[in-house]
Every structure is written in C-alpha cells, then in structure tokens.
Amino acid sequence: MRALLPLLLIGLSACGEEVPNDYFANGIEAARQDPAVAVTATPVRIGELGPNFDACGAVGTTRRVAAGEALPVLAAPFSTAAQTGSLPSGGRFFICSRSLDQKWLGVVFDEAGGIASGCGVDRPAPSRRAYAGACRSGWVSSALVKTIAGAGIPSASAVSDADSSSAGGGLESVPLQPPSH
C-alpha cells in the first residue's frame, strides 16, 4: 500500500495542462491599470503646538543641497505634487508642521528664501489653521532639512553657532546635573 501512494501522486501530478511561466504576470499587468492619483494642494498648518507656543515651532535650513542648487517646495506632501517654489542652498525657513509619515515638513519662508517676522509665524497663533499670511509656504523633504533653532527667530550669532556645530549633528552636549534634595 505504501508503494502505491507515491505512484498515485506521481500519476496525478502528470495530469493537467502545462502553465507557461509568464501566464499569470501577463494577465495581471494587462488587467491592472493604476488610475492616476490627483494630488491637490495641501496647506501648511500653523499653531500645531497650541496657543502658548509660536505658530511655527522651529527654524530650519537646507542640507545636502549643493551650492547653486535649490530645494524644491511642493504644493503637497507627496513627491508627485506640483512644485510651487524653491529654497536656495543655505536658505532659512520656518518649520510649521509635519506629514503623518514624517517625510515632509510644512514650511513658511519669505520671497528671498529666508525668515522674516513679517510672515507672522514667530508669535503664538490662537488656533490651529492653514497658513494664509504674507509669505510663501509649501512642503519640503525632511531628509533635506536641518533644524537650526527652536521657536522664535534666531539671531545671526545663533544661526552661525548652529552651523559651526554641524559636525556634531547640530546638537550641543549639556552636562547632566544631579537633582538637589
């Protein structure tokens, strides 16, 4: 009986039609046509940290952008979104929000590709809302941004100090103090 079982399996495996290697792949590719996804503009939101903090909580600059090149600013946090502007290498901007996947940052900047108090995001916003100020806004890849300051407009010396400490990733080590009892 045990000798018949392998023979029966071999016999059954010989039955049926041969399937060409590309049969399934061709059928799937022909049937699957991905519809074009329309990417609409997504406004940059300000006031994400609440009414006790500046409307945009940080200031950033470009990184890994060669001199003479520009960081594209997109209308939405997607690589297929329309480009609405650009930031020059070394340009400064306010970082106001992040995409859910943390790959994109919502930024606000003036026409010269810098930060200005006229943008209105260096002071608290009463509520979370889409940015509708005097400056430009859009989305940039977070991989190409280095945070150089927290809330508020940094002074020129603070920005140059942050740039000179970039060998340590822009972070300063602070010695820990034991708690006093």
Condensed to tens digits (0 to 9), the pLDDT of residues 33-48 reads 555 566 789 999 999 9
Q: Decide if 63 contacts 145 (C-beta within 8 A).
A: yes
- Count of the separate structural domains present in the chain: 1
Structural domain contains residue 11: no
Q: Extract the tokens encoding 15.
A: 């039955």
Residue 162 within a domain: yes
Q: What is the CATH number of the domain that holds 157?
A: 2.30.30.40
Q: Helix, strand, coil proportions of the chain in percent (round to 5)?
A: 20, 25, 55
Residue 117 domain-assigned (yes or no): yes
Domain that holds residue 95: 45-166
| Assigned domain for 159 exists | yes
Alpha-carbon distance 88 to 84, whole Å? 14
Is residue 24 a part of any domain in this protein?
Answer: no
Q: What is the mean pLDDT of each run of 10 residues along the chain (181 residues)?
A: 67 62 54 61 95 94 94 96 94 95 96 88 94 96 92 45 44 49 52
- Strand pairing category for 104-109 and 45-46: unpaired
pLDDT tens readout for residues 2-17? 676 666 666 666 666 6
Please give the C-alpha separations between residue 124 and each of 13, 19, 81, 133, 140, in angstroms, as whole numbers.
73, 67, 29, 14, 23
